[in-house]
Structure 1
Amino acid sequence: MAEITSELIKTLREKTQAGMLDCKKALIECDGDVEKAADFLRKKGLASASKKMGRTASEGIIASYIHNNNKIGVLLELNCETDFVARNDDFRELAKELCMQVAAANPLYVDIDDVPAEELEREKSIYTDQMKDSGKPAQVVEKIVEGKIKKYYSDVCLLEQEYIKEQKVIIRDLIKNKIATYGENISVGRFIRFQIGG
């Protein structure tokens, strides 16, 4: 059994941003191997990322991005639970990536819950009217409308969008992976996008 030193714990903590006790337990479990312990924490974190999403994230940063043509700018609030994570370069990089996502994809809302009910009803009504003369059964029309609403969400909600750098990854999943890495909740508080003439 390898000796678990404070230096090993510190190294693992810097690598994963996990808590000290979690790092110590992971190192004990993995016989002092930092790489295996990091993987162990990530696996453990992925399983509990959904639980962490409900916790209050009261620390964080305001990130900014100005597109290279100086015609589009974004301010974004990215929250976490501790200032330890907020000061982390990887967390700051995530905030920058999210700003770039907002600049490129132009979402209107952070999440599905932010879409006003009357706007959602208007969209459903439009899609239903489009299908009125299709001759398809009501349940088929309902499924088609559901699919169109899902597509609508992926256009207007940041967390539902495909990541511009990796099309198969949804922003919500990108953030869940970071939650698993850091061992604490991360959430987008709000954002604003500015565009010259827009």
Structure 2
Amino acid sequence: MANFSLQDVKSLRERLGTGMVDTKNALVEADGDIEKAVEILRLKGAKGNAKRADRSTSEGLVGAVDNGNGTATMIELACETDFVAKGDKFVALADVVLAAVAASGASTVEEALAADASGKTVATVIDEEAAILGEKVELRRVALVSGENFSIYLHKTSKDLPPQVGVVLGYAGTDAETARSVAQHISFANPEYLSREDVPADAVEKERALVEQISREEGKPEAALPKIVEGRVGAYFKQVALLEQDYAKDNKLSVSKVLSDAGITVSGFARFKVGA
């Protein structure tokens, strides 16, 4: 006769989110020992993790927090399906991971995975929960932004899903409303750098060579090429550098002008989009 009750099965399922059959079989194998059954289920899930290692993770969520010490942390936690991404267990896992990563001050995925989370590493916590969720779960990206103040903007692309786009804007100044508006602009415009001076020189030269080649192939006059090329390089800066971009809410203004008028100086930013 089984040394466990239906209540034991129910409690264990609620605790781990496992299926009825797997839960019952684990309790049978453990002879009713709840903690032993937990280990059996986790071991079974861990073996599944190895099989899922090569699967793609195109869903998930973005989370961010002001660390209260002049830094803010943002993470992207990825999974395989939107079904798991919107589940309470995955969202709770993301909260645990974000808190641990923020507390550690990690600025890279490697540092974050090694961070402590109640006596375990973040990597172990993720692996254990992935075993229960039945999907590949990975910490894909981590950002640590410095600043006097922060505007954190998390955007849901679907009301049924957790945030899919996240922006952390570090800044000095007191106009929080404008800072939030610029954070929203970043979520839409997706700049790669803060200013044109931050764009790597080799990237600029590569772009200059490309637009020169295009201009020549278009038959532009040789004498006009320098001006045409510089104009097109300027357009490139407006695409990739935040301060050069046209402001999303009023394209007659540059982001630089909007910030200047608001007395805001940006110290840095990060933008994540799930799966991108």
TM-score greater than 0.5 by the shorter chain: yes
Deviations 1:18-63 (A, max 9, x none): xxxxxxxxxxxxxxxxxxxxxxxxxxxxxxxxxxxxxxxx973021
Partner of 1:64: 152
Whole-Å separation in 2 of the counterparts to 1:136 and 1:178: 41
Whole-Å separation in 1 of the counterparts to 2:224 and 2:248: 32
Higher share of residues assigned helix: 1
Whole-Å separation in 1 of the counterparts to 2:179 and 2:219: 47
Please give the root-mean-square deviation of Cα atoms over the aligned residues, in Å: 1.7
1:6-155 equivalence runs, <5 A: 60-69=148-157, 70-80=163-173, 85=174, 91-155=175-239
User: What's the offset of the Cα at 1:101?
Assistant: 0.8
Work out which structure has the larger RCO, using CA pairs closer than 8 Å and 6 or more positions apart in sequence: 1
Task: Write the letter of the residue equivalent to 2:191.
Answer: P
Deviations 1:62-108 (A, max 9, x none): 2100113221001110124xxxx3xxxxx111211111011000000
SS at match of 2:148: strand
**Does structure 1 conserve the Cα–Cα contact (< 8 Å) formed by 2:211 and 2:229?**
yes
SS at match of 1:168: strand
Greater mean deviation of Cα atoms: 188-197 or 138-147: 138-147
Percent of residue pairs identical: 33
Which ranges in structure 1 are unaligned for 5 or more consecutive residues?
1-57, 86-90, 180-185
User: What's the offset of the Cα at 1:133?
Assistant: 3.3
Q: Does 1:163 align with 2:256?
A: no
Whole-Å separation in 1 of the counterparts to 2:250 and 2:237: 18
Whole-Å separation in 2 of the counterparts to 1:119 and 1:126: 11
Partner of 2:265: 187
Whole-Å separation in 1 of the counterparts to 2:222 and 2:260: 36
Give TM-score scaled by structure 2 length: 0.43
Q: From 236, 245, 260, give the equivalent of 1:176.
A: 260
Whole-Å separation in 2 of the counterparts to 1:59 and 1:142: 39
Whole-Å separation in 1 of the counterparts to 2:167 and 2:229: 32
Whole-Å separation in 1 of the counterparts to 2:218 and 2:176: 49
Give TM-score scaled by structure 1 length: 0.60
Number of aligned residue pairs: 126
SS at match of 1:147: helix
Deviation above 4 Å: which 4+ runs of structure 1?
none
Whole-Å separation in 1 of the counterparts to 2:265 and 2:230: 26
Higher Rg: 2
User: What's the offset of the Cα at 1:141?
Assistant: 1.2
Task: Write the letter of the residue equivalent to 1:128.
Answer: E
User: What's the offset of the Cα at 1:169?
Assistant: 0.9
Whole-Å separation in 2 of the counterparts to 1:169 and 1:195: 26
Deviations 1:124-164 (A, max 9, x none): 00011112234433331111111111111111111111111
